[in-house]
Structure 1
């Protein structure tokens, strides 16, 4: 939509600020991509958790997106996976004629995918992602589509990164609470100082090849102190 960029930026900022959760933000980004990007019929966000080797789709405008992501996960190939894994954008002008992804391509064609655009999302190292745009028609995307796609992808990446930072802060706070509670239990049971209690927890961590937070969590939850 030539000439509409400034209005898109303003509308996105206003729309996304009003959302209550990262899920709502991502859902709205996908919906707005369909509304604003010429040729885009459906949109979705694919995420990969590298630690757990899991794929998930936190936002999608249609079942087509979920089915496409499922096909790529089962084939272990596809444009969205490439964008996520290799941190690169992609363009498919005609899915039926594209020689890449021999397992995924026929399934995509059967789903009705005509053409696609995708943009990597820069998030934390263990999480990879892509914003994927779908059209039911070949060669459907206009000349402004790649530029606008990057705008939406940037907002999605910021939303995800913000949620990840918040989760890390919550986890860190919970860990400190558990360690503090475990130290208190050890101090009371063993009649030792705070520093000695923490040293006992750290020693147990090293001897059992277990993280300090997990040792502390077990003490806090069970009341059992290593070594009796």
Structure 2
């Protein structure tokens, strides 16, 4: 856990963090035999990440097909979803019957993160019935927070990259306008701003169009 905390302070790829989180869950929480991360996009696409075996991906696909299951509930509704024994689980009858056939008898899912486009859950599974204790649930909550931080950092990095690209495009377009119309940078930006307002078009899109007309009249 200390290693994960130190790693969180360093720039990391989200997939690398996900893999460390799922591996740590299997190592640190008694009763966990396999683990994975499920992300569900706003468009309803299921994405399986960092499974310690192929089984978590198979279980994600099963929930997608049946439209029921603990991972979906954790990702969309509940902070923590636990099942001590799928053989007597009544919340997801079709899913529970299928996972028992696959040899999965217990599960613990933690909601990871929710924003406009994505929901997610850290999902832990056991091959035996397991009474999940408070220590295990606390450890899972901490691990889920690490995975959530990775999602947030990845999203913010993407936003920063997009912002920098937009700034560069606007600067490039401003230079083209200055050269083409013999105006200073303030006048060039004002021309772009007015066109953006009059056409109800984002400034960065106006800049892109200006760049695309480079060499034109």
The aligned counterpart of 1:211 is 202
The aligned counterpart of 1:40 is 32
Provide the TM-score with structure 1 as the length reference. Answer: 0.80
Alignment partner of 1:92 is 2:83? yes
* Structure-to-structure mapping, 1:49-64, within 5 angstroms: 49-50=41-42, 52-64=43-55
* Structure-to-structure mapping, 1:12-161, within 5 angstroms: 12-14=4-6, 20-50=12-42, 52-122=43-113, 124-139=115-130, 141-161=132-152
Deviation, structure 1 residue 20:
4.9
Alignment partner of 1:187 is 2:196? no
Alpha-carbon contact 2:39-2:75 (below 8 Å) kept: yes
* RMSD over aligned Cα atoms: 2.8
The aligned counterpart of 2:162 is 171
1-side partners of 2:72 and 2:200: how far apart?
Answer: 34
Alpha-carbon contact 1:38-1:142 (below 8 Å) kept: no
After superposition, the C-alpha distances for 1:146-197 in whole angstroms (9 at most, x for unaligned) are 1111111112112222222222212211111111112222332333443443
Alpha-carbon contact 1:83-1:130 (below 8 Å) kept: yes
- Secondary structure at the counterpart of residue 110 of structure 2: strand
How many residues are paired up?
217
Alpha-carbon contact 1:40-1:133 (below 8 Å) kept: yes
In structure 2, relative to structure 1, the CA distance for the partners of 1:101 and 1:36 (3 Å cut) is: same
- Residue ranges of structure 1 left out of the alignment (5+ in a row): 1-8
In structure 2, relative to structure 1, the CA distance for the partners of 1:61 and 1:185 (3 Å cut) is: same
In structure 2, relative to structure 1, the CA distance for the partners of 1:178 and 1:121 (3 Å cut) is: same
Alpha-carbon contact 2:113-2:151 (below 8 Å) kept: no
After superposition, the C-alpha distances for 1:24-72 in whole angstroms (9 at most, x for unaligned) are 121011001101100000111112232x443212321111111111222
- Secondary structure at the counterpart of residue 147 of structure 1: helix
Alpha-carbon contact 1:45-1:130 (below 8 Å) kept: yes
